[in-house]
Structure 1
Amino acid sequence: MNANAVVTPGARRDIAARVRGMDWDRVGTDLDAQGNALLPQLLTPEECTALAGLYGQDERFRSRVVMARHGFGRGEYRYFAYPLPESIAALRTRLYPLLAPIANRWNRTMGIDARYPDRHDEFIARCHDAGQTRPTPLLLQYGMDDYNCLHQDLYGEHVFPLQVAILLSQPGEDFSGGEFVLTEQRPRMQSRVDVVPLRRGDGVVFAVHQRPVRGARGAYRVNMRHGVSRVRAGHRHTLGVIFHDAA
């Protein structure tokens, strides 16, 4: 499958059907319980190969970041330019309306005033009106000994509180190590670490910044960060689907 095959109308329909077919009750429950939820087989192996193959096509991207130059870790990533490849646009468009009710419920619970519209294009219009006009979906590329430090993807005033990472490479075949890692810091407690087991084509939806946790005196905010552990061998590619644009 070549890179252009990911932009076909059939690919958009297939992605829409897979998104609809997820167990969204389970996704909501897992997000509430642990701040992340698995989206199994969100992309096919062929789609994963095609998307990873876009990395060398300069015209697809607006910028390239070498992590070591900024203290972000080792490895590199590239932000897509508009117009996005259709498959990535479809993921944004189809996932957002299923995640927006969860995001709104979280904000109500945490006492945050921001609310998110039903449609992704309406939210992107809000971002653009505030000067956040640069697209944020990205491809990440890791080689041996590369890693990504724990971080949060906050790009401006308007931040959608959930994002999705999709593994495009096969653990045990294309690479070893390179686990997706989440941490949460609860008040007056040590940080908790969660390693999310992913196979090629699996996505994980997770909290960008904070999530609510119920305590004895009501809900409180937990700070979340994510990263990737050291790749011990091979090469690893990941697609990041962020729903807000950058300033």
Structure 2
Amino acid sequence: MNADQIEADTVSSQTDETPIRQVDRRDWAALAASLDASGHALLPGVLSPAQCEALARGYDDEALYRSRVVMARHGFGRGEYRYFRYPLPSPLHELREAFYPHLARIAQGWNEKLGQDLEYPPTLQGFLDRCHAAGQTRPTPLLLRYRAGDYNCLHQDLYGEHVFPLQLAILLSEPGRDFEGGEFVLTEQRPRMQSRVEVVPLRQGDAVVFAVNQRPVRGARGYYRVTMRHGVSRLRAGERHTLGVIFHDAT
């Protein structure tokens, strides 16, 4: 399966709604409030089952990817993932471009709360131009595959000087049918406090937007930084695929 075949499969599953229209129709005020409150927001039904299955079937197509990572070789956990190469297949390309402007406005608000003098361009290409000028030219969207016994250690997806502070994970498999276990996990480390853990319930096609590194939290003396990490608990059975949508490119 190549990128054109994935695009044909996903387009045929859509009616009059493109991924861009679906993204623009979300309640972004409510999503921003959820991100401010907990560092993540759940978006049900971002991809259809047909789109999810088309992307998952493409995992073994070498032509779609620039590299493959076996987690156990690097101490990242168990399982593996592949980084897509440019050009990205549909609907990944469309989703990345459609989500970016909404998330950039939220990220800009976070910077202001933390007193950071950093502005994000209004379009994804503008931000990628900034990454590429700094030597961050390798695409970071990825497809992850877990099988029984696999898991992903808590981590952050930081790939260079320029880091967009929000990212997206979309579950391509259906819990209870395709796999057991394998929950998406977020941890939050507040200063001088124990880490707080949250499990985010996802169904096939659902997305979670979450903080890549740090997020602002209001305290008695203003806003302070809270460090976030994410991972996946051990898979008990079956096979699980996840699409990771990261907006900054890598060195």
**TM interval, short-chain normalised:** over 0.9
After superposition, residues 105-184 of structure 1 pair within 5 angstroms as 105-184=109-188
Q: Per the alignment, in what secondary structure is the counterpart of residue 140 of structure 2?
A: coil
Structure 2: distance between partners of 1:51 and 1:90? 14
How far apart are the structure 2 equivalents of 1:54 and 1:129? 31
Say which SS state the counterpart of residue 132 (structure 2) adopts. helix
The alignment status of 1:15 with 2:19, answered yes or no, reads yes
Matches within 5 A, 1:19-58: 19-58=23-62
Residue 102 of structure 1 deviates from its aligned partner by 0.5
> Does the 8 A contact of 1:164 with 1:204 survive in 2?
yes
1:5 to 8, 15, 22: 8
Q: Number of residue pairs matched?
A: 247
Percent of aligned pairs sharing the same letter? 66
Identify the match of residue 195 of structure 2 among 191, 197, 217: 191
Deviation per CA, 1:120-178: give whole Å up to 9, x if none.
01000110111000000000000001000000000000000000000000000000100
1:10 deviation in Å?
Answer: 8.3
Name the amino acid aligned to 1:91. L
Structure 2 Cα separation of the partners of residues 184 and 242 of structure 1? 20
Judge conservation of contact 2:6–2:89 (CA < 8 Å) in 1.
no
For residues 200-219 of structure 1, the aligned pairs below 5 Å read 200-219=204-223
State the alpha-carbon separation in 1 of the partners of residues 106 and 25 from structure 2: 17
TM superposition shift of 1:112: 1.9
Distance 2:41 2:93 in 1: 21
Q: CA RMSD for the aligned pairs? A: 1.6
The residue type equivalent to 1:227 in the other structure is G
Match of 2:107, SS? Answer: helix
- SS of residue matched to 2:18: helix
3-state SS of 2:59 partner: helix
Name the structure 2 match of 1:85. Answer: 89
User: In 2, are the aligned partners of 1:6 and 1:51 still within 8 Å (CA)?
Assistant: no
**SS at structure 2 position matched to 1:16:** helix
Deviation at 1:3, TM superposition (A): 2.8
User: Residue 227 of structure 1 aligns with which residue?
Assistant: 231
The residue type equivalent to 1:37 in the other structure is A
CA distance in 1, matches of 2:145, 2:160: 25
Alpha carbons of 1:26 and 1:193: their partners in 2 closer, same or farther (altered >3 Å)?
A: same
Q: Deviations over 1:63-96 (max 9, x none)?
A: 0000000000000000000111021110110000
Note if contact 1:7-1:85 (Cα within 8 Å) is conserved in structure 2.
no
For 2:59 and 2:12, how far apart are their aligned partners in 1?
Answer: 22
TM-score, normalization by structure 2: 0.95
Deviation by residue 1:31-77 (Cα, 9 ceiling, x = unmatched)? 00000000110000000000001100001000000000000000000
Q: Distance in 1 between matches of 2:84 and 2:201?
A: 26
Question: Whole-Å Cα distance in 1 between the matches of residues 20 and 9 of structure 2?
Answer: 13
CA shift for structure 1 position 232: 0.5
Q: Is contact 1:6-1:87 (8 Å) kept?
A: no
TM-score by length of 1: 0.97
Query: Of residues 55, 74, 79 in structure 2, which corresponds to 1:75?
Result: 79
